[in-house]
Chains A and B, each alone.
Chain A
């Protein structure tokens, strides 16, 4: 193949597919047909573009982070500001696209899984905007560490169901959403929030997020006159990363780095570094790298970041890793939290803890790259939702004594 950008599912090399119960196949076929028809219909893209212009607030800007970059060796760092989107993260790009498809399919109810709560909030927002019923599955552990987002979803009119099975995090929220979907597929669309899952989700969700890289590429050329030497993004399921990477895949001079959560550290077993430490298997409907034991049982992942705390990853990233087109590295909780504080203090921008992994990655990368290089970081979300975790971590609440 000449262009990596032209690759679509169901398979990315040996990854992807549809490993789901037969009961779901008709719904996946319907989604695929609806999506293909929408893609070929100029009025669909026009409607989505208009929503992005008047509701999301696109295009998102690029900010050069000069004071932050001073801590990263001799490089320039640019931030693609997905945190400024309505609802506070990149997740809205995909949600609005799928919400329009939900209407086209004549369905009246959406369900979603969420880890950090950002995808849940975006889904609840779209449900309010389009008059859809919305149920969000969220691991019980995550409802505790992202309590603010639970309140946001409820205020928006969504029902949030804490999932108490398994590791009580994102993985189990997806299981529960799949169970709901099998039972209610008639009137319900499963609005999956990342580039994982069975075909057509990895391709479709990527397409909806590719606006990030398409805009950023044009903005870099127009405002600065060059393409960045490297891209940096955090990787949970991989949606913000692939959204940034996609437009640049065939720009050979642009290097790509995905940063996974290393939790307690890459030398410990408590991490979520799927592409670094996993091996290929089937989880949640697709073949991809995953964290599993020798029996093929999924391992629990660990990260301070709810949105990266997932033992799987989208199949296109597995493919890019094996091709060597993108590199994936781990960032520990401590490194991410330090980067979160550094960006706050040097640029006046408080990032999400997920995003802080990309920032910590950029700090390290800057010291490896040629002097004068440039790094474009996907600032995938803002940190409001993480204030409680951050305040506890840094011991900055009045009366707090357990700070570090």
Chain B
């Protein structure tokens, strides 16, 4: 048996947990508004207090995303984003900061690139693994193999409607953490984080004593980040960061990240 290296992502979340702080996981799309600016933004986010970076791959048909992220990723594509630049961005970010970088991507770009090749180049670039919003474990055989081969994290989703068996499977097969979907809906800021999030995390705890659970979708305020971290191992924020950047550029993004991160100190 091959000894598996501990996941960088779960190490980051666990150490925050042990020191009594929660974790903030921040999303930003690669190539938005341009490749260089997205790299600068991602590095700034890591330096301003996020614990794990979720780097989004722009995709033509993002069915899990709301208008804010749709607009940003469409702009990235219009500005000429190419899939290969994902690895360029991961390399540049991991060269500058130690924060684990998970790539969040819809499945077709990976399939089209070649699952093994994508995994190999992601590992070479220093990436920690993948979050796959439209790939369920049932369809993931090639990715399970490639992520084992290259020691990459793989984050599957657990939804409010997932059966106990499906939650169990997501816990068994995920590495890094399990993405607890807070609400039945798409990405975008909401006034209140759905109470369903608590239930999903409880279901994950029930299924596994080891799996870490981070809550995503709809989280946008410092209060919500602190709140979620009372019962989960991390809060995932996306649209709120992209919105801040849209409204006020890098400066506003850094301010938003600092504000949310400070709620955990």
Contacts and interface: CB of A to CB of B under 8 A. Distances in A.
A22 B181 contact: yes
A175 B136 contact: no
B157 A296 contact: no
Contacts of A20: 63, 134, 136
A175 B82 CA distance: 22
B139 A296 contact: no
Interface in A267-309: 281-285, 292, 294-298
A27 interface: yes
B12 interface: no
A298 B61 contact: yes
Nearest to A183: B185
Interface stretch (B88-96, B107-115, B233-241, B253-261): B107-115
Contact of B161 (A175, A185, A297): A185
A281 B108 contact: yes
B6 interface: no
Nearest to B110: A296
B138 to A, nearest CB: 7
B186 A18 contact: no
Interface stretch (B14-22, B40-48, B146-154, B162-170): B162-170
Interface string B76-115: 0100001100000000000000000000000111111100
A323 interface: no
Nearest to B185: A183
Nearest to A171: B61
Contact of B109 (A175, A186, A285, A297): A297
B135 interface: yes
Contacts of B83: 295-296
Nearest to A20: B134
A283 B82 CA distance: 19
A166 B61 contact: yes
A294 B112 contact: yes
Interface residues of B, number: 39
Interface string B157-197: 11111110010001000000000010011100000000000
A282 B108 contact: yes
A63 interface: no
A27 B161 contact: yes
A26 B163 contact: yes
Given A18-B136, A22-B162, A27-B161, A179 B82 contact: no
B89 to A, nearest CB: 14
Contacts of A141: none
Interface residues of A, number: 33
Contacts of B160: 23
B111 A23 contact: no
B95 to A, nearest CB: 24
B108 A296 contact: yes
B59 interface: yes
Contact of B108 (A27, A165, A283): A283
Nearest to A290: B108
Interface in A151-200: 165-166, 171, 175, 178-179, 182-186
Given A22-B156, A23-B181, A182 B111 contact: no
B19 to A, nearest CB: 31
A21 interface: yes
B170 A22 contact: yes
A19 to B, nearest CB: 5
Interface in A1-54: 17-23, 25-27, 29
A57 B44 CA distance: 65
Contacts of B63: 20-21, 175, 178-179, 182, 284
Given A18-B138, A165-B70, A179 B61 contact: no
B107 A282 contact: yes
Given A22-B162, A185-B161, A298-B60, 10 more contacts: A18-B138, A20-B136, A21-B63, A182-B64, A182-B184, A283-B61, A295-B83, A295-B109, A296-B83, A297-B59
14 contacts: A19-B135, A22-B136, A22-B158, A23-B159, A23-B161, A25-B159, A27-B161, A184-B184, A282-B108, A284-B61, A284-B63, A292-B108, A296-B108, A297-B109
Interface of B: 59-64, 66, 70, 74, 77, 82-83, 107-113, 133-136, 138-139, 156-163, 166, 170, 181, 184-186
Considering the complex of A and B, which 9 residue pairs feature the smallest CB-CB distances, nearest first? A296-B112, A26-B161, A183-B185, A295-B83, A296-B109, A23-B159, A22-B157, A296-B108, A297-B60
